Amino acid sequence: MRKRLALLLSAAMLTVALAGCSGGSSGGSGGANSGGASGEASGGSTADGAAAGHKESLIIGTDTDINNLDLQKQQDQINNIILKNTHQTLVFFNNGSSGDVRFDPCLATSWEFVDDTHIEMKLRDDVYFNDGAQTPMTAEDVKFTLDMAMDNMVASVLAGYVGCTVKDEHTIEIEIEKYNNEFIQSLASLPLAIQSKKAYDDGVENPYYIGTGPYKFDEWVEGEYCRLVKVEDYWGNDIPASENLAPGVAEILEFRPYIEASSRVMALQAGEIDVCINPPINELQYLEEDENITVYEQTGTRLFYFAFNVEKAPWDNQTLRQAVACAIDRNAVLEAAVYGKGTPQTTILNRGLWGFYDEMDGFDYDVERAKSLMAEAGYPDGGITTTLTYATGTPYEQIATIIQANLADIGITVTLEPMETATLKSACVDGSQELFLWRWNEDSKVDFVYRDLFYTGSGSNYHHYGDAKADEMIDIVATEKDQDKRLETAQELQTYLVDACPQVPLYIANLVVAYNKDLQGQYFYGGGNHDWRHAYIAQ
């Protein structure tokens, strides 16, 4: 299916308008670099910060297909990576590059808590939408965007939001139900990028395409490519290149999905693409030997885990779950899945997030302890038959095979059941699965891990785990103002969840990207939510 996104916009905005982007990362997508290095290239620029001579286009080969570009009706990483170039958020998540301050002003210039439930926010007064008429962005657009989000699938991102009051053209006051340590972080989520109220009021087709950033859409051909073009009259053209709101560099950004990993590698080596996302680990040697290609690697943040549906017998037995955890050889899993390019961990929290704690005892690989726990759980001779479901393809196939063999050692017979990701997700939501493999990445909000994955009744709580004590600690981490007490509770919560064992954390995968050796200006995130606005191929 071909979706042609027209660039011709009348002053009345009667045709489709598409936008250019900047801004923060979304929940369940992106990743902070726990190692501290940004992966940001600094070469290839002139003294005033402008890019030196460069190729007109930058072509990125992705490992997943684009599926929805309506900001508030999607939360997939691949969509957000594209929308990051065409839309902008109130707050910008900087991946830790500004020291301890990881959230910078973006479309908002400042904010403060008036009291526990009211936040006053000042907006830039020089921002225009890329609608062909340079319609100014005002407080009305911000209120419209936030209110609209509460009626869409991204409402959970704004948990606790009560409403927004327009104080003047460039000032808003947001009301929340109760104080929350991470509400401001929520506003860096890409699905909350500011949209044009006028576009919706005027009945523009696909009004969600209109943004305020340095790129706008040219054409999206599903399954083939999505092309963006630089906005020549971008409102931020005079902003220094070092700032979050600076203009784009390459005239064209194009994203091409290559679902089959070897195809991405061949396309990179043939010069058809400039960047290969997630190259297959077993082919890195050939890429490293190619003098025209750079292979980049850094510590990642995406956590791969094995999990139980704790509502399904016998997995409602905590001691049995602990036995299984002791039976899994995480080092063997890591080697089979990513040739050792990752870090095993014990805690359930993504690396790089506030309060990360991995010092609890946990359940290391110990078959004898596993058998002892099996007996304690009431299964001294094993005799359990179960099913492990997972998404088709790598690395899940490799992980599943290792775990199947591990559990056979303690008398658990595992049938492997691969399925398409969407089908697996539906099964997990419905609770029809028994054991399953999943991954989770979060770079900015710990609540997007604790509350989404473990809070009673959460839609992303595929473990179907519910515990009043865990819920209480999750709420304390979200609302406690005393940061020492908050940190103490966060460490206690992680220890408690590891012991409860609704999931077995396996490993954090390293970020690996291969690209044209002349690539400059890229900014890598450990979880994959990369920023391409200022990247280009130097010539």
Q: In the predicted model, what is the mean pLDDT of residues 420-428?
A: 93
The angle, 0 to 180 degrees and rounded to 10, between the axes of the packed helices 330-338 and 396-408 is: 150
CB-based contact 194:90 (threshold 8 Å): yes
pLDDT at 21 over 50: no
pLDDT at 358 over 50: yes
**pLDDT confidence band for 167 (50 / 70 / 90):** very high
The reported pLDDT for the residue numbered 52 is 67
Tell me how far the alpha carbon of residue 305 is from its chain's centroid: 16
**pLDDT confidence band for 51 (50 / 70 / 90):** low
The reported pLDDT for the residue numbered 81 is 96
The reported pLDDT for the residue numbered 483 is 96
| DSSP states along 312-338 | STTTT-HHHHHHHHHH--HHHHHHHHH
CB-based contact 469:58 (threshold 8 Å): no
**pLDDT confidence band for 98 (50 / 70 / 90):** very low
Cβ partners under 8 Å of residue 53, min gap 6: 538, 539
**pLDDT confidence band for 444 (50 / 70 / 90):** confident
Evaluated on CA atoms 364, 366, 367, 372, the torsion sign reads: negative
Delimit the domains of the chain by residue range: 2-277+513-537, 303-509
The reported pLDDT for the residue numbered 359 is 96
- CA dist., res. 104 & res. 185, Å (int): 10
The reported pLDDT for the residue numbered 333 is 98
pLDDT at 50 over 90: no
**pLDDT confidence band for 242 (50 / 70 / 90):** confident
Q: Say which CATH class 303-509 falls into.
A: alpha beta
Q: In the predicted model, what is the mean pLDDT of residues 98-106?
A: 70
The reported pLDDT for the residue numbered 507 is 97
The reported pLDDT for the residue numbered 165 is 98
* Buried b / exposed e along 313-324 (16+ C-beta atoms within 10 A): eebebbebbbbb
CB-based contact 256:62 (threshold 8 Å): yes
- CA dist., res. 248 & res. 231, Å (int): 8
Average pLDDT, the chain: 89
Would you state the structure tokens that stand for residue 65, as one six-digit string?
Answer: 């297909």
- CA dist., res. 360 & res. 347, Å (int): 8
Distances from the Cα of 89 to the Cα of 145, 146, 179, angstroms: 11, 11, 21
**pTM recorded for the entire structure:** 0.85
pLDDT higher at 390 or 20? 390
**pLDDT confidence band for 103 (50 / 70 / 90):** confident
The reported pLDDT for the residue numbered 20 is 30
**Burial of 6 from C-beta contacts in 10 A (0-12 / 13-18 / 19+):** middle
Residue 433 amino acid letter = Q
Peptide bond into 395 cis (omega under 30): yes
pLDDT at 425 over 50: yes
pLDDT at 497 over 90: yes
Q: Give the residue carrying structure tokens 């009211």.
A: 118
**pLDDT confidence band for 10 (50 / 70 / 90):** very low
- CA dist., res. 344 & res. 356, Å (int): 14
**pLDDT confidence band for 94 (50 / 70 / 90):** confident
User: Phi and psi (nearest 5°) for 191?
Assistant: -60, -15
Cβ partners under 8 Å of residue 235, min gap 6: 126, 127, 128, 134, 212
pLDDT at 99 over 50: no
Residues in the chain: 539
What topology does CATH give the domain 2-277+513-537? D-Maltodextrin-Binding Protein; domain 2 (3.40.190)
Cβ partners under 8 Å of residue 450, min gap 6: 474, 477, 478, 493
Tell me how far the alpha carbon of residue 433 is from its chain's centroid: 24
What's the Rg (C-alpha) of the chain?
24
3-state secondary structure of 388: strand
User: Phi and psi (nearest 5°) for 216?
Assistant: -140, 165
Query: What whole-number percentage of the chain has pLDDT above 70?
Result: 89
The reported pLDDT for the residue numbered 96 is 56
Would you state the structure tokens that stand for residue 294, as one six-digit string?
Answer: 């750079």
Tally of CA atoms within 13 A in the half-sphere of 391 that contains its CB: 13
Q: In the predicted model, what is the mean pLDDT of residues 173-197?
A: 96
End-to-end CA distance of the chain: 35
Same fold, 2-277+513-537 and 303-509: no
pLDDT at 9 over 50: no
Lowest mean pLDDT among 191-205, 239-253, 405-419, 488-502: 239-253
pLDDT higher at 153 or 467? 467
- CA dist., res. 61 & res. 245, Å (int): 25
Ranges of beta strands (E only) in 331-455 are 342-344, 384-391, 412-419, 435-440
Q: In the predicted model, what is the mean pLDDT of residues 140-169?
A: 96
CB-based contact 72:83 (threshold 8 Å): no
The reported pLDDT for the residue numbered 3 is 44
pLDDT at 49 over 70: no
Task: Give the bridge partners for 20, in sequence order.
Answer: 213
SS (H, E, C) 96-158: CCCCCCCEEECCEEEEEEEECCEEEEEECCCCECCCCCCCECCHHHHHHHHHHHCCCHHHHHH
pLDDT higher at 1 or 326? 326
Q: What is the pLDDT of residues 274-311, one digit of tens each?
A: 999 999 998 999 999 999 999 999 999 999 999 999 99
The angle, 0 to 180 degrees and rounded to 10, between the axes of the packed helices 318-327 and 367-376 is: 160
| DSSP states along 16-75 | ----B----PPTTS----TTS-------SB-TTS-B-SB-SEEEEEESS------GGG--
CB-based contact 123:229 (threshold 8 Å): no
Evaluated on CA atoms 182, 346, 528, 27, the torsion sign reads: negative
**pLDDT confidence band for 244 (50 / 70 / 90):** confident
**For residue 243, what is the DSSP state?**
S
Lowest mean pLDDT among 99-103, 330-334, 486-490: 99-103
Of 338, 341, 259, the closest CA to residue 299 belongs to 341
- CA dist., res. 469 & res. 277, Å (int): 41
Distances from the Cα of 181 to the Cα of 77, 184, 222, angstroms: 24, 8, 39
